[in-house]
A and B are shown apart, each in its own frame.
Chain A
Amino acid sequence: MNEKQKRIRNFSIIAHIDHGKSTLADRILEYSNAVSKREMEAQLLDNMDLERERGITIKARAVRINYTHKDGEEYVLNLIDTPGHVDFNYEVSRSLNACEGALLVVDSTQGIEAQTLANAYLAVDCDLEIVPVINKIDLPSADVDRVRKEIEDVIGIVAEDCPAVSAKVGLNIDTVLDAIVENIPAPKGDENAPLKCLIFDSHYNAYLGVVVYVRVIDGTLRAGDKIKMMSSGAIYDVVEVGYLNALGLEKGEELKAGEVGYITASIKTVSETKVGDTVTTAENGATEPLDGFKEALPMVFSGIYPADGARYNDLRDALEKLKLNDAALSFEAETSIALGFGFRCGFLGLLHMEIIQERLEREFNLDLITTAPSVIYKIDKTNGETVFIDNPSNYPPTDTIAKAYEPTVRANIITPTEFVGGIMDLCQDRRGIFKDMKYLDATRVELHYILPLNEIVYDFFDALKSRSRGYASLDYEFADYEESSLVKLDFLLNGEVVDALTFIVHSEKAYTRARKIAEKLKDNISRQLFEIPIQAAIGSKIIARETVRALRKDVLAKCYGGDITRKKKLLEKQKEGKKKMRRLGSVEVTPEAFMAVLKLDDSEK
């Protein structure tokens, strides 16, 4: 190992949401002069507006920091930021694989939370040296000793001398930098071995094409090299290599084993540079890729339609733009009788879905109608064929199904003890299978369940939050496909099936769900001149029924003193409302009615 390599430290910061990860990252950059205060926007690493607003990091970023340690030596610290949410677990694990160590930030007023643990376990799986950092010690309710003990008891790592800081006010940041240099090992790897670079992120740039973020594990990479993506075999000519500066890309000569940097190679979309893939040289390259590569597969699906049908093309353009930078997003055109032309979109999970929807609405100024989120069902048909269904409308007829399977997840819930009862009821109600329960300390419990994903995508977060007054936290990962008794539930308005409302539900829950949604529809469909029956059906069997009574009165009885302006304004307003309606056969429905059925508040019952 050369001298330069010995003084490289590659590390990530991991934390539960809101425990101060981004603030600590800012302080580290500032302290080590990687970026001056003036140049720094607050929380530089999170550079999407949405991230800043939600206080979460969606996509990984990396920054190279030069730091002079108290031993007088100059070190290169590569901070690789990770997405902070369970939906991006795979991306997190790839970022961690690019590091030798991780700072585990724990809020001294909150202690360990679900994602603290999930991330810590991920880091342990990647053989990282974990450096706990106890944050927010400036707050009156900080309890550093309790949190130290909790880290030792629950995670089983020494926390006795770990840094205790306040990232917000910039207290003790030097102890964090020292801990990085002293406790995290230098990267191993041989600069003369065949090239192996791990892709941990990439983003699309209009001028450079895709900028690929890599950690060089072995070998040396130079501009002009011919490289190969080991998962696809695709070959590219490297245009540029360099380092990731706090303020942008810094062009360099070469990247060597242990270093973190970027590559550009006239690559058109990020789907060609898959996170976790191995980059090697086209000739005399590595024979085996790095372990752990997986295609990022969408788990949650939803139909997305423009509220104004004329904006279909705008929606397509917007999705294409987002896709440039988000390999995990999938979409294909679909047509709904109820909603017209739109797209069936696939997401890593619920948060990913929400983020995409919000970005479409905010950055592209689109009004959307989205259908209830669904998962992929696996169906063994009686003719021996196996199909995967991501759109409930395409669910095959019962008599053609031999066996149906639904995806399940391992869920890990951490909650204050007082809410355990309510949360267990909730999981029970959502068909959860209890695995075990562990006391983290006297006040907090960790629950493990196997839950059908289909139950989680349906307002589970909201229910969990409302039953724990916001205190419970959830983390989940895909477990398996399990055989299940599923039915397709259709809704009919005035005798016609509304495809956008169809969904798949466990047979035991079909009746309750059907009744609830029928009621909700009744409340949200405005009266029309005729009576509108609402029916819920499994096949041809009606299992719930409601009726929207006919409109009897809609009149301005008095127009006093010749004031006809008032009447005109009223009609104008009514006309506006009518324009937004979707016509389903003979029935007109507001977009709100579609959305209302997506939010069933289960805690009411």
Chain B
Amino acid sequence: MKGLGLYIHIPFCVKKCNYCDFYSLGCMAYEGIERYINSLCLHIDMEGKKYSKRQVDTVFFGGGTPSILSVEQIEKILNAIHHSFHLTKDCEITIEANPGTLTEEKAKSYKSIGINRVSIGLQSASDNDLKMLGRIHTFEDFKESYRLLSSAGIDNISVDVMYALPNQKTEDFIETVDRVCEFSPEHISAYCLKIEENTLFYKIRDTLSLPDEDEQYKMYITLCDRLKKMGYEQYEISNFAKPGKKSTHNMKYWLSRDYLGFGPAAHSCIDGGRYSYSESIEEYEKALEGGNEPKKIAEADTPLTKDEKIDEYVMLRLRLSDGVNVKEFEERFGISFDSRYKKNAMYEKNGYICKKNGAYAFTPKGFFVSNYILSDILENI
């Protein structure tokens, strides 16, 4: 049986960023971090009993800003995990960290308690951008954080950057990419800014001067090109890694591997079903303190039909540069890929999809219009 992934949601931030619509709370407004961690531990214990036979090969602390937790708090959660689950020897344990929340002591302790991968949220090398995004740090802070982690012996670092920021030109974004590459991180994630409802940016959207579609496209294509030259492999729409440094945890999402989420708004995919917990820390804590499981929100009321499952498989696999392996697809579902997805040929002809190593995959240009193409070729989504 394949390894299990654990996702631990830490929904606290020093301050909410102007573009962020993920479930997180301003930390100052919430004083019950300890209470939340206790609930998490109860939850881990509860799930551990159900999946005690499974080998856990990834743990991911996401947020929010997990790095605002004290080392003791992280350790407490990790101990609970070790207590309830069986972790593989080379288990990938990632924590998301924001510059400005890391100290030398924290960096060293991460290493000592077994954290072997850190994902730093930088977003931009321009302090103006950072300010506008509502980040609490500067580029200098990032440099310092990076240095602290490296010196502490963390040798698997990922850096998050964003593009399509207000007033940003392709040159500006590439400047950020180049400055990040100077550190030679093992992994880079590059996300396109999207103006989501319920964010400050949404409220002031009319005043933001965002790069147009063509400029965004240029940013993306230049990014893919530049990172390739720098020795990174693009393995997913927004993710780039040095050889052997893909995020094992992240890959689970697209390979439909099993993962369990912990915390409000966390998503799980286990034994063929998907569900999430509601976006309420109160409900989450109350349930667990009362000895109950938090309420699950199932993705679908009825199990997926076979056709839906096939299309979901294709949708997820096509997020990856490895794409859909035709032989594997046909063995798995017993049908021919080409006869099911006839429109695929047209996109292949026009350079949006390519076939390599027996698999269909999006090209960078195809990735950037993948929703359009997927909604055209998938009949059963």
Contacts and interface: CB of A to CB of B under 8 A. Distances in A.
Interface in A374-396: none
A482 to B, nearest CB: 49
Interface in B258-310: 259, 261, 265-269, 274, 276, 299
A575 interface: yes
Given A564-B316, A568-B312, A553 B274 contact: no
A561 B261 contact: yes
A71 interface: no
Nearest to A574: B375
Contacts of B329: none
Contacts, number: 100
A373 to B, nearest CB: 35
A564 B274 contact: yes
Contacts of B220: 553
B371 A571 contact: yes
Nearest to B263: A561
B225 to A, nearest CB: 16
Interface centre among A551, A554, A562 (most CB of B within 10 A): A562
B374 A571 contact: yes
A384 B316 CA distance: 68
A529 B22 CA distance: 31
A557 B339 CA distance: 29
A605 interface: no
Interface string A520-549: 000000010100000000000000000001
A555 interface: yes
Interface in A404-434: none
Contacts of B206: none
Contacts of B319: 559
Contacts of A570: 371
Contacts of B276: 563, 565
Interface in A571-587: 571-572, 574-575, 578
B372 interface: yes
Nearest to B249: A562
Contacts of B381: 568, 571-572, 575
A575 B374 CA distance: 9
Interface residues of B, number: 44
B259 A555 contact: no
B253 A555 contact: no
B261 A562 contact: yes
Contact of A561 (B7, B214, B369): B7
A458 B275 CA distance: 54
Interface in B312-355: 312, 315-316, 319, 350, 352
A552 B191 CA distance: 16
A562 B376 contact: no
A560 interface: yes
A558 B350 contact: no
A567 interface: yes
B34 interface: no
A553 B369 contact: yes
Contact of B267 (A554, A565, A568, A578): A565
A562 B269 CA distance: 8
A47 B160 CA distance: 67
Interface centre among B9, B213, B266 (most CB of A within 10 A): B213
B252 A562 contact: yes
Contacts of B139: none
A572 B237 CA distance: 20
A556 interface: yes
B370 A554 contact: yes
Given A563-B276, A571-B315, A572-B381, A555 B371 contact: yes
Given A552-B213, A558-B194, A562-B267, A571 B378 contact: yes
15 contacts: A551-B213, A551-B372, A552-B213, A553-B213, A554-B370, A557-B237, A558-B192, A561-B261, A562-B7, A562-B261, A563-B276, A564-B253, A568-B315, A568-B381, A571-B371
| Those 10 A-B pairs whose CB atoms lie nearest each other, nearest first | A552-B217, A574-B375, A557-B192, A554-B372, A562-B253, A554-B371, A562-B267, A571-B381, A554-B369, A558-B191
